[in-house]
Structure formats: structure tokens, C-alpha cells
Amino acid sequence: MNIINTDIPGLLLFEPKVFGDKRGCFFDSYDEKTFQSAGINRTFVRDSQTESSLKVLRGLHYQLQPFSLAKFVRVVIGKVLDVAVDIRKGSPTFGKWVSVELSEENRKQVFVPRGFAHGYLVLSEKAVLLYKFDNFYYPEYESGIVFNDKDLNIDWQIDLKEIVLSERDKEHPPFKEAKNNFIYGKDL
């Protein structure tokens, strides 16, 4: 697997080596040794799957300490614009975001460390994403940031009026008002 650094240290993109012929293809979507070679020593405890329609935006989500979580995300059907925002107070990249297109064609996957808000926008008629999480879900610790925060100024690559949101995602606060107990340099 090819490991690609992004503009934010620790936020990594993975490109699997695909072996294909006329019958189809094969690739490893996760390999613990590859993660360890990238300095990621996480035990994944939960896998989840989401399915969404064109222009659905999910996010920006995260879970507060002490139940924060890292995630490894990939698309198995369709295409999304995946976005991660560094929300670790004191980080040299605090408030910066990275976006990457994940699709069934490019098979890229992203590792989102603890201390990041995460979301995605569906760019195809339908998208199915698979997540690996290194912690369990605790609804009382979930939090979020509104997707169109003026300070973050995320380029979602479509007219924001076209975006389809859940009621919960519409109610997220702006970045400066969001609950946040992440401190850069602390073991997350």
C-alpha cells in the first residue's frame, strides 16, 4: 500500500496496490503492518457502513475526549469529497482542513486521527462508505461543527444551497463555538 502524507501531519491517504486481470481485481484494503510502518498503532474495534445519495453532506462530526476516535474511511460504491479539519488546540495546523476525493475507481482511503472533525459530500448518484473506528460510539460525547463555517471556509466544490443535510447537521455550531477538548501533543 502506498502511504501519502497530506498537508496536515498524521492525516494520511492510503492507495492500495490493485492486482487485476480480465476476471476482476484484488487488493488489501487494510494491513496492520502497513499502518504500523506509518506510525499508526491503533486497534480498530468497530466497522460501520453508510449509504447516501447525491449531494448529501454528512458532518463535520467527532467524538469528544475521553471517547475520541480515529477512523479509516473508504468508498466501495460511488464518489465523495472527504474533508478532515484539525481541531487540536495548539496544533500548528489548528483550523486547517484537507479534502480528498475518495471513489470506487481510485480506491484511495483516508486515516483521520483523533482530534479531527470529519465529513463528506456525495458526488455520485449514490455512495457507500466503510469506516473502521478505534473506539466505540458514545452518543453523549458526539459533537460537530457546521459544514459552512465562515472561518474554516471549506470548498465543498458545489453550490452550498444544493447540499442535503440532516436536521442534526444543520444545528451544529460554528467552529469557534463548538465543544472541543482536544489539546495538541496530548495522547489522543
Give me the residue spans of the domains in the chain.
43-177
Q: Could you please state the CATH topology (level 3) that the domain comprising 43-177 is classified under.
A: Jelly Rolls (2.60.120)
Q: Report the catalytic residues.
A: 61, 131
| pLDDT of the residue at 129 | 98
CB 107 within 8 A of CB 27: yes
pTM metric for this prediction: 0.94
CB 131 within 8 A of CB 48: yes
Phi, then psi, of 182 in degrees rounded to 5: -90, 130
CA dihedral sign of residues 169, 156, 3, 39: negative
Identity of the residue numbered 83: V
CB 16 within 8 A of CB 28: yes
| pLDDT of the residue at 188 | 75
Q: Which residues pair with 42 in a beta bridge?
A: none
Q: What is the DSSP letter of 24?
A: E
| pLDDT of the residue at 25 | 87
Q: How far apart are CA 7 and CA 103, in angstroms?
A: 20
Q: What is the pLDDT along the chain (188 residues), one digit of tens a residue?
A: 899 999 999 999 999 999 989 999 898 889 899 999 999 999 999 999 999 999 999 999 999 999 999 999 999 999 999 999 999 999 999 999 999 999 999 999 999 999 999 999 999 999 999 999 999 999 999 999 999 999 999 999 999 999 999 999 999 999 999 999 999 988 77
